[in-house]
Amino acid sequence: MIDIRHKILDNTSLLKRGVGGVLLLAMLILSSCSTEPQQKTKTTPKKPKAKIEVPTFNADSAYSYIQKQVDFGPRVISSKGWKNCAIWLEKKFKTYTPNVIVQEAPIRTYDGKNHVLKNIIASFSLEKNNRVALFAHWDSRHIADHDTENQSSPILGANDGGSGVGVLIELARQFSKKNPKIGVDIILFDAEDYGQPENSNYPLMQDSWCLGSQYWSKNPHKANYFARYGILLDMVGAKDATFRHEQISFYYASSILQKVWRKANRLGFGKYFVFENAQQIVDDHLYVNQITGIPTIDIIEYDPATESNFNKHWHTHRDDMKNIDKETLNAVGQTILDVIYHE
């Protein structure tokens, strides 16, 4: 390999070459012979940058949206609670934007059951090509496989599923009141949490998790859809949650990861957004990155003190509203608002 470097010669190097004195003498002679008075150049003062007004995230509002989801009961695909929640989500988003799509597709889960998934998409400023995608999953786990009791029963999923959706609905409300400069697509994935458990008696199914994001990534809601980057919210509501640099996010979208974490720390949320690495996590962002090429990060709670490395109530019946903290919701929601409105 040939290393070609451009040399920049300053006055010192010229003097060392013996030509600096000649140049300096010539400049002095020209200056003394000039009879034209030197005119003062006018400097135009720089205009101060206009302050960007960022809306204030309402954690009470986000909390109420999580409560509403939990009130439907478990949102397991094809269940009554899932059907009622889907209707509510579509209606809710339509109060903030007319551009709402419910993407339906047939799927088969690892247990051989057939379902029709529903991905719910709410878009803002469709005329803008400069876009950002915000993701979450709206379904909840069909079993409590990390609980010690009633493992075959579905969980409420207040944090795992509900929290990300609650934050995004509040963001939609803010976007409807004041449009960002960029276009935004809020995309709620279905069937994220219907993955095959470790102790399953069924034949192993590859890629059994994140079925909604797999389908959307292969079949976007709009032809040739692309966003500059994406942000996935998953388990963003527990008290004292910490979010670290998940490795798939770092691999595909390190600059976005740094942007969001720096923003959070500047806003005073450093106790939540920690500059430490976390292991790679199979989540919806994996398929968005691999299939669509949209650089996407995952804001997900990571707790190295637990066996699962997730929240201690992950995939248990204790993932209820007692597991939701408004301060954590505010840290995540305000950070995303600041990122979006400064684009």
Residue 23 has pLDDT above 90, yes or no: no
Q: For residue 8, is pLDDT > 80?
A: no
Neighbouring CB atoms inside 10 A of 73's CB total 17
Do 311 and 323 contact (CB within 8 A), yes or no? yes
Angle between helices 164-177 and 80-94 (to 10 degrees): 20
> What would the mean pLDDT of 250-257 be, rounded to a whole number?
98
| HSE, side-chain direction, 13 A CA sphere, residue 1 | 2
- Integer Rg of the chain from CA: 27
Q: In whole angstroms, give the CA distance from residue 100 to residue 96.
A: 9
The predicted pLDDT at position 50 comes to 75
Helix (H) / strand (E) element for 231: namely strand 229-234
Bridge partners of 245, per DSSP, are 277
Span 291-338, pLDDT tens digits: 999 999 999 999 999 999 999 999 999 999 999 999 999 999 999 999
Whether 35 shows a pLDDT value over 50: the answer reads no
Provide the residue ranges of all domains of the chain, joining segments of one domain with +.
59-195+204-341
Q: Please, are residues 246 and 280 in contact by the beta-carbon 8 Å criterion?
A: yes
Q: Residue 161's CB: how many other CB atoms inside 10 A? A: 29
As a whole number of Å, the end-to-end CA separation of the chain is 40
* pLDDT > 50? residue 30: no
For residue 277, the model assigns a pLDDT of: 97
* Mean pLDDT (whole number) for 75-82: 98
Q: Determine which of 30-34, 69-73, 179-183, 290-294 has the lowest per-residue pLDDT on average.
A: 30-34
- 165, 179 Cβ separation under 8 angstroms: no
Over the stretch 157-194, which tens digit does the pLDDT of each residue have? 999 999 999 999 999 999 999 999 999 999 999 999 99
Kindly give, in sequence order, each residue whose CB lies less than 8 Å from that of residue 192, ignoring residues fewer than 6 positions away: 137, 139, 161, 209, 210, 211, 212, 213, 283, 284
CATH class name, domain 59-195+204-341: alpha beta
Share of the chain above pLDDT 70, in %: 86
Mean pLDDT over all residues of the chain? 90
